[in-house]
Structure 1
Amino acid sequence: MKRAFILFAALALSLAGCSFSSSTGSSQSDKTSQNKSTETANSQNGSTGQNNGSDSSRSNQSSSSSQTASNSSSQTSTSNAQTSSNRTLTMQEVIKATEQQLKTQVPVRLPNALPMDKGYHLTAVTESDRTHYSVTFYESKNPIPINNSKLTNGNDAIKIGTVKGTLYKTDAQAGSYINYQDFKKFESGNPSTNLGYGIKGYFDAGAGSEYLGWNEGRWSFTVRARTVNGSILHTAGRQIVAYLEKEMLPPPHNIGAGEFIADELASRNQRISWQNKNVIYEVSDTKDAMTALKIATAF
């Protein structure tokens, strides 16, 4: 009996052990499967993470490249802007900028070009009020801004000439400013000379000076020199007449006058003025007659 019981117990334990082993193996197998699944998932996630990291890196590189390109473009734009803003203005741009400085009720008229030495730059000093404006043009080796203090010290720029416009109350008041002369009155008593192109000039003298005068249309012209230099008047007169055969002064309404000094050029005492109804325009302060004429014929 005991032996039978012992055999039964042993059989039971054996069966229990097989069941426990099977359950444990199944559990371990499940855990192993889960671990493998987890490792596979982790491996896949790791791969995805690497790809994401690579994509992120590419995105950052792309963003960096885009930013670099943007900065490069911005720097180029800034460089171009600086180049544009720092470039030297042309003569016509300086004249236009000068006109914009004038605040006046006088109809502004300026020459469209100035006689300048090669390699020099144009600049100006302006003054204006309700009934008057004045522009003194200068040339300089180095560019100088309009109305800069360097233009008045006499060292950094050379004066070319001055252009003015003045508004009067009436045409008569404006006309009285013009020193117009009718030289026909000299025909009977004053010596004359042929200035070319059918124009006759007349001599006069007084107070240590000699004069040569003539008319062209509604203009009168006078050239003065000291008596000791009177012989240069004829040459100066012919030069002016010849120039005006090629170039035209502004047509005056009603009259105009040119007054020139043939010697004492340092005085800059040259003047061309003409009337436009109740406004007088004037060119003055030039080094010689020809410079004044070149400015006036450029209006």
Structure 2
Amino acid sequence: MKKIILLGALLLTLAACASKTPAANSEEDKSTAQTNATTTTTDKNSETKTKSSESTKNTTKSSSSEKKADALAKLKKENPKTLLPTNIPRDENRALNIAMDKQKDSLAVLYYIMDAPLVLNDQSLNQQTPFARYKMEQFASKDAAKKAVNYQFDEGGQKVDLGHDITAYSQGAAGSTYLNWKEGNWSIVLRASNVNGQDGTALAKEVVNYLEKAMLPAPKSVGQITIDMAQNGYESNQVVWQVDKTVYTVTHEDTIPALEMAVSMNK
């Protein structure tokens, strides 16, 4: 009888232990889950901070790179006393890159329009084609500077009314028509191709209309504008003028932008 009672008690004790064990395991699981959740959150926060830090570094690096590649600012910084164009007409959505050649008595600048900004005088510009150019050259005398302008004005030929009391003189030669007129100390020569059916008079009137509202630098003593409609590239529109012993030249692939460059130098 005692053996039966003891065996029953033992079974009750084992049953009680069995019922308590899952509860204990449940608490341990909850504790472990909470710890894992905390660890995961910490890892995520750490990852977020790391990404944020990397993003900040990349942004700073990109900003620093763009600042370093600001060729126009670098050009101005290296030539603080030189009269430079402040307006370089172009596609503002693309980068302006610059090559500079500085000598004792001259400064030549080529302007390029590209997808990415480059530092001043980047080597890769040697394989690119410029759209505009600037040059400053100092001569030994005023006469030498005046001769370098290559001023030309011819009143021969048929008169053409360009409006605003401006009269041009038209002459034909070798499949081209030349229009020549004066505005102050400036002489303007425009060449149009008859073979290509170009209308020089229409462009000449556009130039005159523009110059009615914009003021070119005052030459001391002469200035020359040469427009070649039959030519392509940055040399096709040229504005040259003398200031004492110094000669300034700006060129652009388009006519009005070439004038705008020169106008921006009117101090």
Aligned to 1:133: 107
Report how far residue 272 of structure 1 moved.
0.7
**TM-score of the two chains, using structure 1 as the length reference:** 0.64
Secondary structure at the counterpart of residue 228 of structure 1:
coil
Q: 2:75 matched to which residue of 1?
A: 98
Q: CA 1:261–1:267 in structure 2 vs 1: closer, same or farther (change >3 Å)?
A: same
Distance 1:133 1:87, change over 3 A: closer
C-alpha contact 1:165 1:280 (8 A) present in aligned 2: yes
1:115 alignment counterpart: 89
Shift of 1:89: 7.4
Q: What's the C-alpha RMSD, in Å, of the aligned pairs? A: 2.7
**CA deviation digits over 1:84-138, x for unaligned, max 9?**
5234579xx64331133459xxx62111121111311112000011111100111
Query: Higher RCO, 1 or 2 (CA under 8 Å, sep at least 6)?
Result: 2
State the distance in 2 between where 1:262 and 1:279 align.
28
Equivalent residue number for residue 151 of structure 1: 125
State the AA in 2 paired with 1:144. L
| Structure-1 separation of matches of 2:216 and 2:196 | 28
Structure 1 position 226, deviation (Å): 2.5
- Conservation of the 8 A alpha-carbon contact between 2:240 and 2:247: yes
Q: Is the 8 A contact 1:260 1:288 kept in 2?
A: no
Q: 1:168 aligns with which of 139, 147, 155?
A: 139
For 2:115 and 2:141, how far apart are their aligned partners in 1?
Answer: 43
The residue type equivalent to 1:141 in the other structure is: D
Residue 85 (structure 1) aligns with = 64
**Partner of residue 182, structure 2:** 215
* Inter-partner Cα distance in structure 1 for 2:75 and 2:241: 22
Using the alignment, how far apart are the partners of 1:255 and 1:241 within structure 2?
Answer: 18
How far off is 1:195 after superposition?
0.7
In 1: Cα distance, 2:255 partner to 2:68 partner: 28
Uncovered stretches (5+) of structure 1, i.e. residues with no partner = 1-74
1:203 counterpart letter in structure 2: S
> Within the alignment, does 1:298 sit opposite 2:264 as a pair?
yes
Q: In structure 2, the residue corresponding to 1:111 is in which secondary structure?
A: coil
Structure 2 counterpart of 1:260, from 205, 208, 227: 227
Name the CA distance, whole Å, in 2 between partners of 1:129 and 1:81. Answer: 36
**Equivalent residue runs for 1:1-299 within 5 Å:** 79=57, 82=61, 84-88=63-67, 94-101=71-78, 108-154=82-128, 159-183=130-154, 185-186=155-156, 190-229=157-196, 232-266=199-233, 268-284=235-251, 286-299=252-265
Amino acid of the structure 2 residue aligned with 1:166:
E
CA distance in 2, matches of 1:228, 1:147: 40
- Maintained 8 Å contact 1:268/1:288: no
Change (3 A) 1:133 1:229: same
**Structure that is richer in helix per residue:** 1
Largest Rg, 1 or 2: 1
Distance 1:207 1:263 in 2: 12
* Contact 1:265–1:287 (CA under 8 A) maintained in structure 2: yes
Cα distance, 1:267 vs structure 2: 7.2
Count of residue pairs brought into register by the alignment: 212
Question: What is the CA-CA distance between 1:210 and the residue it aligns to?
Answer: 1.7
5+ long unaligned stretches in structure 2: 1-52
